[in-house]
């Protein structure tokens, strides 16, 4: 085990640490949840997961939570029993949600197996399921007591999933660690080749940026919202494309739009914004989408209704200089049409 940091999130201790594959599975696991892709990756000798969830947004539903809770009861788990969830963000969100409900909260250990879950989803206590088209509508803030990360696992991640996760890494660099952006820029080929050393360093830095924001603001009353950079635009693209756009790829497209908005608002320097967008393109990200700008604006309005307030945009004014802006629909439409 190699400690990244021991955090305290709203009073809950949470350890983030690197593990070798052999030590990754917690020996005191009482109930093991995985998905079809990860079940064979994480094994304790002879142990199979007791619950195999189907990965993918469409399966982030109450029925999965019910299965976990029923089995926890049937096995007679206590409040100090460990439920371990290994998988991408859908699995870690659902395992932690079930853990937050069982006996009003039992012990939860998460093993994120996608880059996106390692650098974002599994850390910070946001748990939940979707309700219809509304993502993460039902859930809780319940940090896992430990997030165990094995970067070695990423070598077998499908290409699109890798770049979706790298989108969240780039987001984290812009909002909280510009030195990491230089590291990425100076090591482009190593990033493309999934060099283990560079990946470990990027994950470590993302965990530190996110963890420090969550320590300050677990319930997203303030600066935690910076982590949603690219997400207001990105969620609209995801929804209008009926989730054909993977989350992390939609977030990069959304960051492109947020950069355009920033320049149009007179916040970011145009050359800086173009430089960042050029790096996105260099990694093969698409900053153009075929979806209708009107439909995307409408999707954002739905999002606004969901949040019961005005629509907020997280706008990058420069490296590690993030603003929260309320934008007029006509202005947003112009940006979407660009
Ligand atoms: N993924 C954004 C957050 O955890 O706040």
Instruction: Please state the domain extents for the chain.
Output: 2-159, 229-338
pLDDT at 315: 98
Burial class (CB within 10 angstroms; exposed 0-12, middle 13-18, buried 19+) of 192: middle
Alpha-carbon span 152 to 23, nearest angstrom: 13
**How many A from CA of 102 to the centre of ligand 1?**
23
Element spanning 17, H or E: strand 12-18
Low-confidence ranges of the chain (pLDDT < 50): 45
* DSSP string across 70-134: HHHHHTT--TTPEEEEEESHHHHHHHHHHHHHGGG--EEEEEE-SHHIIIIITSS-EEEEEETTE
pLDDT at 56: 81
Residues with CB under 6 A from ligand 1: 120, 124, 126, 224, 227
Long-range contacts of 307-312 (CB under 8 A, 24+ apart): 311/232, 312/225, 312/232
The angle at the Cα of 199, spanning 202 to 159, to the nearest 5 degrees, equals 115
Residue 173: phi, psi to the nearest 5? Answer: -65, -45
Helix (H, G, I), strand (E, B) or coil at 247: helix
Alpha-carbon span 291 to 207, nearest angstrom: 33
pLDDT at 223: 96
Burial class (CB within 10 angstroms; exposed 0-12, middle 13-18, buried 19+) of 190: middle
CB 297 within 8 A of CB 337: no
pLDDT at 54: 84
pLDDT at 243: 84
Pick from 202, 200, 143: which is nearest to 176 by CA?
A: 202
pLDDT at 306: 63
**How many A from CA of 46 to the centre of ligand 1?**
35
**How many A from CA of 162 to the centre of ligand 1?**
18
Torsion-angle region of 14 (φ positive above 0: left; ψ -120 to 50: alpha; else: beta) = beta
In ligand 1, the atom with minimum distance to the C-alpha of 123 is 4
In ligand 1, the atom with minimum distance to the C-alpha of 227 is 2
| Second-level CATH architecture of 2-159 | 3-Layer(aba) Sandwich (3.40)
pLDDT at 213: 98
Alpha-carbon span 99 to 118, nearest angstrom: 19
Pick from 112, 92, 207: which is nearest to 154 by CA?
A: 112
Global pTM value: 0.95
CATH class of the domain defined by 229-338: mainly alpha
Alpha-carbon span 324 to 231, nearest angstrom: 13
Q: Parallel, antiparallel, or unpaired: how do β-strands 51-53 and 312-318 relate?
A: unpaired
In ligand 1, the atom with minimum distance to the C-alpha of 124 is 4
**How many A from CA of 147 to the centre of ligand 1?**
15
The best mutation among 228, 232, 247 to test binding of ligand 1, ranked by most ligand atoms within 8 Å of the C-beta, falls on 228
Q: What is the pLDDT of residues 202-251, one digit of tens each?
A: 999 999 999 999 999 999 999 999 999 999 999 999 989 988 999 999 99
pLDDT at 131: 86
**How many A from CA of 257 to the centre of ligand 1?**
19
Pick from 55, 146, 150, 62: which is nearest to 108 by CA?
A: 146
**How many A from CA of 17 to the centre of ligand 1?**
19
Alpha-carbon span 173 to 273, nearest angstrom: 14
Q: Parallel, antiparallel, or unpaired: how do β-strands 29-35 and 51-53 relate?
A: parallel
CB 50 within 8 A of CB 82: no
């Amino acid at each position: 085990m190699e400690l990244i940091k021991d955090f305290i999130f709203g009073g809950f201790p949470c350890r983030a640490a690197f593990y070798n594959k052999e030590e990754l599975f917690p020996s005191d696991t009482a109930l093991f949840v995985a998905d079809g892709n990860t079940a064979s990756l994480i094994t304790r000798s002879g142990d199979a997961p007791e619950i195999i969830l189907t990965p993918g947004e469409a399966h982030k539903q109450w029925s999965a939570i019910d299965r976990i809770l029923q089995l926890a009861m049937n096995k007679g788990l206590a409040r100090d029993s460990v439920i371990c969830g290994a998988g991408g963000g859908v699995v870690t969100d659902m395992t932690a949600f079930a853990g937050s409900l069982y006996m009003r909260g039992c012990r939860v250990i998460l093993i994120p197996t996608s880059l996106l879950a390692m650098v974002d989803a599994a850390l910070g206590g946001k748990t939940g399921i979707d309700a219809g088209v509304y993502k993460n509508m039902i859930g809780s803030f319940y940090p896992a007591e430990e997030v165990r990360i094995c970067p070695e696992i990423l070598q077998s991640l499908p290409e699109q999933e890798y770049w979706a996760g790298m989108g969240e890494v780039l987001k984290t660099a812009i909002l909280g660690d510009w030195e990491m952006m230089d590291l990425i820029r100076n090591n482009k080929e190593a990033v493309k080749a999934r060099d283990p050393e560079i990946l470990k360093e990027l994950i470590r830095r993302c965990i530190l940026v996110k963890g420090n924001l969550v320590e300050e603001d677990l319930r997203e009353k303030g600066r935690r919202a910076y982590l949603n950079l690219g997400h207001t635009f990105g969620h609209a693209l995801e929804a209008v494309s009926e989730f054909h756009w993977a989350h992390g790829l939609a977030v990069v497209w959304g960051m492109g739009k947020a950069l355009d908005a920033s320049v149009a608002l007179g916040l970011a320097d145009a050359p800086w914004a173009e430089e960042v967008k050029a790096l996105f393109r260099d990694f093969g990200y698409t900053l153009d989408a075929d979806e209708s700008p009107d439909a995307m604006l409408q999707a954002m309005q739905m999002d606004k209704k969901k949040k019961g307030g005005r629509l907020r945009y997280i706008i990058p004014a420069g490296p590690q200089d993030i603003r929260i802006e309320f934008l007029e629909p006509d202005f947003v439409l112009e940006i979407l049409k660009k």
